[in-house]
Structure 1
């Protein structure tokens, strides 16, 4: 690795760590960066997943007060969501090695496209979620319903499991999906739910990273699935660690439109680099 590559991966990791903490989809920064330096899509995916784990952990630390508030809303409230993310992330990571390598190259451009659509519609989706919450709270008040926090049912758990499955395979925009699911099913404030989103995304990334490390260490993936490139992963990890801190402290002040525009441009470049 040259100095230019290290610097680029550090910068991409920092940007991704910041973006993941604020909304999610930081993979759309680091993944194309790895592709630009000649890594194959599969190598870029596993390397990127491992590299972004420290940034997710950093974001959790920054949101620890909001996470504690969510946990205080009911027994096992967070634990069952974590269990769903752990199971989904494990199966998603294993799916990466069970499917042929050519399948990943065919599927990922579609997944990136889906992620970009989610990023475009995210503001409108957030408004609808807020409107539904306001309407529900108004109805509860009119009926004289006792105060309390909605817990989310098994449908929420299954949706979080599905997001974990997706994130374990390829994690771009899983944070956007999680915010939509949590916002529709829990009555907590958006900052509290953002903290929970960071926990669940970190769990998925971490369990997928463990699977990738084990598969690479024992050569279980075969020649089609090369192992993690540790130099690149370390550069992304250092940048993401710093970016996670930035996202938890000042990242909320970033202009949302500019942030979305940047992610969309980078995502389109990633699609082009894989299909052309």
Structure 2
């Protein structure tokens, strides 16, 4: 690894950590950077998953105020932890045990669908029911279902996970975008912890690259979380929609290219 590679990976880690905390999709920055330094696609994928994890933990710390407020209003929020962990493990197993091509073709449409869901969230709530009108049991089950689906996807692929989580959680939580984003950070961090454990044991991780990307991803994650909680809900929502749409189109181009 030369100085150019170090500079490239450091900048990519900083940008990815910031983007992941605000909207998600930072892997589209770090993954190509790792490829550019000479890693194979598989090695770059698992190295990227391990590298961005510290950024997720920093974003959780940066959004701790919103998390405390959310936890006070929703008792039993920590019951989501086992759901997220189990789903992320299943996602990792799928990644290591199955061909990725078929799923790669589906991913762009999932990301675009998530962006569309978030853009038309208010209209969709009229169809599926507003969270405040749901029974406690239905809200709880819906929240677990959304976390499970998001964590499964995160363990398998992960790109634009934040977009998908914000869109899904926003349908079942009657909370500000900042609080929804804070919960997204927790779910992303849990999935990241699982991928670190699985890929460190079974994947071809390039630890030298991790040591370069991880610290800057942590700085970016904290800064992005602090910025996200200061943005008005409408601005944060449309920022995620625009970025998610862009990510979906890039993934679609790569899948069919």
TM-score, structure 2 as length reference: 0.83
Q: Residues 128 and 59 from structure 1, CA distance in 2 versus in 1: closer, same or farther, beyond 3 angstroms?
A: farther
Map of 2:163 onto structure 1 = 176
Structure-2 separation of matches of 1:274 and 1:129:
29
Aligned-pair CA distance for 1:67: 0.6
Structure-2 separation of matches of 1:36 and 1:263:
24
Structure-2 separation of matches of 1:173 and 1:238:
21
Q: Residues 28 and 125 from structure 1, CA distance in 2 versus in 1: closer, same or farther, beyond 3 angstroms?
A: farther
1:117-136 equivalences under 5 Å are 118-119=114-115, 121=116, 124-128=119-123
Map of 1:164 onto structure 2 = 151
Contact 1:91/1:165 (<8 A) preserved: yes
1:109-124 equivalences under 5 Å are 110-112=106-108, 114-116=110-112, 118-119=114-115, 121=116, 124=119
Map of 1:98 onto structure 2 = 97
Map of 1:108 onto structure 2 = 104
Structure-1 separation of matches of 2:175 and 2:128:
9
Map of 1:199 onto structure 2 = 186
Structure-2 separation of matches of 1:74 and 1:272:
40
Map of 2:85 onto structure 1 = 86
Q: Residues 86 and 93 from structure 1, CA distance in 2 versus in 1: closer, same or farther, beyond 3 angstroms?
A: same
Unaligned runs of 5+ in 1: 141-147, 217-226
Contact 1:28/1:263 (<8 A) preserved: no
Q: CA RMSD in A?
A: 3.2
TM-score, structure 1 as length reference: 0.77
Q: 2:207 aligns with which of 224, 230, 236?
A: 230
- SS of corresponding position for 1:90: helix
Q: Residues 231 and 269 from structure 1, CA distance in 2 versus in 1: closer, same or farther, beyond 3 angstroms?
A: farther
Map of 2:173 onto structure 1 = 186
Deviations 1:53-75 (A, max 9, x none): 11001100011011111111233
Map of 1:52 onto structure 2 = 52
Aligned-pair CA distance for 1:125: 3.3
- Number of residue pairs matched by the alignment: 253
- SS of corresponding position for 2:120: helix
Aligned-pair CA distance for 1:91: 1.0
Map of 2:73 onto structure 1 = 73
Structure number with larger C-alpha Rg: 1
